[in-house]
Amino acid sequence: MSMADLFGDTFSHQRRDEPLDAGAVLLRGFALMEEAVLLPAIDMVVAQAPFRHLVTPGGFRMSVGMTNAGSLGWVSDRRGYRYDPVDPLSSRPWPAMPEIFLRLAGAAAAHAGFVGFVPDACLINRYEPGARLSLHQDRDERDFGQPIVSVSLGIPAVFLFGGMQRADPQIRVPLTHGDVVVWGGPARLRYHGVLPLKPDQHDALGDCRINLTFRRAG
């Protein structure tokens, strides 16, 4: 008999693993067991480095609010996309990666078969209703052999998961509070995005979705 059978849903948090494709797996509810520690840790980061709407190299204001934790942070401006050790708003280093972030990202990666994942960058995205993330590849990191761990919190979103070419067909993956996607190997450079968020309410996070994406950037 497994632990989940013994303790039922209280301890298993209705966790389920769903392979999305080679190299990508959706761990439903994986972040729920650490929720009580995770949400205050996000608040700590945001208090030091508030969400801001970055501008793309093409001059468009992104609808998603962004901030970072860790020794490197992802930023965009008229000059391009890059990882920067300094928050351009404060001219200070990004807030340190909270212990719980490292623990959660490492555990999810290991569960998906990527043992020893130690992220140096956590991009924190805040979506309000209507916010979206257009189709893109994550290719600003140095080593594509390292996976990405993506944690969804708050109101639901529809994740678009495409192919290696922008024009390839996409599958739509609904993501809800506590879901974790681990993405690496042959999936590492696949195009992906997030559809415009529908208005909704979440008990802990109100009318927004927060996504943490962990990378080994440097």
Give the shortest CB-166-to-ligand MD6 separation in angstroms. Answer: 14
Name which of 12 and 63 has its Cβ closer to Fe ion.
Answer: 63
Give the shortest CB-6-to-Fe ion separation in angstroms. Answer: 38
Q: Which amino acid is at 124?
A: I
CB atoms near residue 121 (< 10 Å): 25
Given candidates 109, 148, 153, 217, which one binds ligand MD6 under the rule CB under 6 A? 148
Name which of 20 and 33 has its Cβ closer to ligand MD6.
Answer: 20
Dist. CA 201–CA 207, nearest whole Å: 5
Dist. CA 187–CA 194, nearest whole Å: 17
Given candidates 32, 42, 194, 217, which one binds ligand MD6 under the rule CB under 6 A? 194
Given candidates 87, 138, 141, 179, which one binds Fe ion under the rule CB under 5 A? 138
Sign of the CA dihedral running 157, 179, 122, 116? negative
Give the shortest CB-202-to-ligand MD6 separation in angstroms. Answer: 15
Q: With CB cut-offs between 5 and 8 Å by kind, which of ligand MD6, Fe ion, none does residue 32 bind?
A: none
Per CB under 5 A, does 141 bind Fe ion? no
Dist. CA 213–CA 3, nearest whole Å: 29
Dist. CA 178–CA 3, nearest whole Å: 20
Dist. CA 216–CA 218, nearest whole Å: 6
Applying CB under 6 A, which residues contact ligand MD6? Answer: 125, 133, 138, 148, 150, 159, 181, 183, 192, 194, 211, 213
